[in-house]
Structure 1
Amino acid sequence: MTDLLALARDLDAADPLAPHRRAFSEAPGVRAYLDGNSLGRPLAATADRIAGFVRDDWGTRLIRSWDEQWMQLPLQLGDRIGRAVLGADAGQTVVADSTSVLIYKLLRAAAGYDRARTEIVIETGNFPTDRFLAEGVAAECGLTLRWLEPDAVTGVTGDDLATVLSERTALVCLSHVDYRSGTVADMPAITALAHEAGALMMWDLCHSVGVIPMQLDAWGVDIAVGCTYKYLNGGPGSPAFAYLRRGLQGILRQPIQGWWSAADIFAMGPEYVPSPDIRQLLSGTPPVVSMLAMQDMLGLIEEAGIEAIRAKSISLTDLVLRAYDAELAPRGVRLLSPRDAAVRGSHVSIGHPDFQRVTQQLWADGVIPDFRFPDGIRLGLSPLSTSHVEAVTGLLAVRDAL
């Protein structure tokens, strides 16, 4: 125990991103917050931003703020996310709606792209929302789902995908980082395979955006959706973002044809004419208040740099694995994440039959990981807000609870 904590203190002392931890609000009574992969901590500056918004942008400027700043906010924030963490040029990312609504819009749009193609490929272990929505869209459009059943830890590989791709494949829909194991899929290779079969490729980025560098433009990704309340710290229920590569804009047709996606939003014309650009993915009035908090975190990410954030993530998860080997493996705890840092995201999953009870005890003691049915704990390590000492403290608390 002493060696692990001493090592953690040394790593924190050498950590170039350590000063950024001061930007986050304190949580009294919390010794270790290891659930940033579900809900990121708020930044201290966000309280002032929200107060200023109520006082000035809304309270003083009133409806004039729509013309002065709010109309363009979904596009401006989308471009900022694209530039900082997606490897996407401007005009291809927009912030709007929930993750579920955006996934539905884009699944439905992709399903109608080539009527001769009748199958959607998805993984049996994908996040429930993705699977449920794919089932619904398939039923609406008369399509067939082709299910991948990869190894739970290694995740979907090119070999897995090759077994189901055909001239019937309309769309492949996968997660970049597995929400259970934290395994990182080979986005460029899998995207290339989908394209070789003539299919569109859609990625769920919820567990990778903000912690894993990516190059959506360079890798030829067609469609991507991600949330902003995990590693982008936008707060509970903050809106999601969608990426649609420029070559598909004006070609794919999303199904929720609200006035904000019309070519002339204020024409109030008799029929719907979609905007030819990324604004076509909007529907109703954007949730401006819910777009506030993520702006502070985006500023922090821009300052730190996504490559440095990834290096800190690897350092944290490597240390957790070292502590797991020393303290939890001898107690019968299973490792449910990859050991290879190159294919491991920013959370480590472990399993034990007693973990549901253990999680309740940990929360009561101020150590907050995430329980996943039936017997898994996810140790979510948000690099800008989590220290090495905090990570080790959490793991040792799991040991003590066992």
Structure 2
Amino acid sequence: MPQRPVRKPARPFFSSGPCAKRPGWTLNALDGALLGRSHRAPEGRARLKEVIDRSHSLLEAPGDWKIGIVPASDTGAVEMILWALAGERPVDVLSFESFSGLWAQDLRDVLKLDALTVHEAPYGALPDLSTVDWSHDVVLTWNGTTSGVCVPGADAIPAQHDGLVICDATSAAFAMDLPWDRLDVVTWSWQKALGGEAAHGMIALSPRAVARLEQASPRPLPKIFRLTNKKGLIDAIFSGDTINTPSMLCVEDALDGLRWADAIGGLKALKIRSRANFEAVARWVAQTDWVEFLAAEPSQRSTTSICLRIVAPWFAEQDIATQQKIVKTLTGLIADEGAGFDLASYRDAPPGLRIWGGATVETDDIEALLPWLDWAYESVRMEYSV
């Protein structure tokens, strides 16, 4: 039996959503929650508007962009804009992991767009961005939460493009640079990079996106998807008047995360913390012979959803079901020790590991986790290899 490590992470929470709470978080952070009050009351609207304003400032979004709170997390935000706009002009969509694949599936099989081009790539890679037609509307996921593959930078998108660029940024916002001057719609959720509670999404619209929404011939939509009415954009959504009833407990938690981020130095500090977490994993991968990054191209490796594949020959010889069982056993050993939770890859991804490296995770905890991965690997290797 391999030697069991001694040191454990102080906060062994590495889930890629909902993600770890910010350092020092306790339930006392929610003491000021506006419970038992209406979100339509002036105080409720003020809290919701504060989430919007703080998000706008922290993300360094342009002043003329509109940001609003919408139902159903990032999924709701993406679906809302696709149902509102898709089909006004041809659409190109990047499909390279679970959620980007879902957007492609919805555009193709549910909305049944005639003028649709799906650019596909397997887990661990991005589609060839040079084949994208930027005169079309383009739907892309900035960071593949389930693959650990991200868009390498602003230059991937032309500065001038005729269509709208619709960006699912849920595991990139608050951790990576987003080129606001090259995007038109950006979505994210509270449950990712700042560790907020689930169920609420955010949508940011450029002036070009607002103009398209107001000029579009909308398809019939349920109330929770409507961003416009006969008068144009529903501006109230972007000042704290939410479409449906939000949880004021979740609102307070979102504010706590945003205030913490401001207190430690804003977006720059968040990116530094996430990069340090990634680099700790990268150093370990470089000296470990049984694991590699799922993302083959270094410039495309995510600093938040750090996805790893097991490359040991004995593991590769197993069928997928057995590989999944091995990963479940490996991560279960670590969880049983209280040394790390939620470390298995996403259910649709290749069997492997996934470590959340966003800014709410401490690098010391990442470093304390890594010997446990080696320990658990050696434990299962002894059982399965011959």
TM-score (ref. length: structure 1): 0.74
Aligned partners of 2:154, 2:299: CA distance in 1, in Å? 18
For residue 141 of structure 1, report the CA deviation from its aligned partner: 5.3
Residue 75 of structure 1: how far off its partner (Å): 3.9
Which runs of 5 or more structure 1 residues have no equivalent in the other structure?
Answer: 10-28, 264-270
Distance 1:394 1:45, change over 3 A: closer
Q: Is the aligned partner of 1:211 residue 2:171? A: no
1:262 deviates by 8.2
Equivalent residue number for residue 84 of structure 2: 109
Find the counterpart in structure 1 of residue 329 from structure 2: 357
Post-superposition offset of 1:234: 0.9
Aligned length: 344
Distance, in Å, in 2 between the alignment partners of 1:247 and 1:88 is 13
Describe the SS at the equivalent of 1:146: strand
**In 2: Cα distance, 1:122 partner to 1:176 partner:** 12
Show the counterpart of 2:304.
Answer: 346
Aligned to 1:180: 146
Task: Give the match's secondary structure for 1:143.
Answer: coil
Name the residue aligned to 2:251: 291
SS in 2 for 1:96: strand
Pick from 39, 42, 53 the counterpart of residue 68 of structure 1. Answer: 42
1-structure distance, mates of 2:224, 2:297: 48
Aligned to 1:58: 35
Q: 2:186 aligns with which of 213, 219, 224?
A: 224
* Cα deviation digits, residues 42-62 of structure 1 (max 9, x gap): 355562343432xxx334xx4
> Mind listing any 5+ residue stretches in structure 2 that lack a counterpart?
316-325, 378-386
The residue identity in structure 1 corresponding to 2:17 is: S
How many angstroms apart in 2 are the aligned matches of 1:192 and 1:68? 43
Q: In the alignment, residue 21 of structure 2 is paired with which amino acid?
A: P
| 1:274-323 CA-partner distances (Å, limit 9, x unpaired) | 44537279533344332221111111111222212222222222222212
- The alpha-carbon deviation at position 164 of structure 1 amounts to 4.2
Q: What is the Cα deviation at residue 225 of structure 1?
A: 0.8
Q: CA RMSD for the aligned pairs?
A: 3.3
Q: How does 1:1-400 map to 2 (within 5 A)?
A: 33-43=12-22, 47-53=27-33, 57-59=34-36, 62-63=37-38, 66-89=40-63, 92-98=66-72, 99-112=74-87, 114=88, 117-118=89-90, 120-128=91-99, 130-138=100-108, 139-140=110-111, 142-150=113-121, 152-156=123-127, 160-165=128-133, 169=136, 171-192=137-158, 195-196=160-161, 198-216=162-180, 219-235=181-197, 237-249=198-210, 251-252=212-213, 256=221, 258=223, 273-275=231-233, 277=235, 279=237, 283-304=243-264, 305-326=266-287, 328-329=288-289, 332-337=290-295, 340=298, 344-352=302-310, 353=315, 354-366=326-338, 367-372=340-345, 373=347, 374-388=350-364, 390-400=365-375
**Would the alpha carbon gap of residues 48 and 34 (structure 1) be closer, same or farther in structure 2, given more than 3 Å must change?**
closer
* In 2: Cα distance, 1:95 partner to 1:82 partner: 12
Q: 1:74 to 1:274 in 2, by over 3 A?
A: farther
Calculate the TM-score normalised by the size of structure 2.
Answer: 0.76
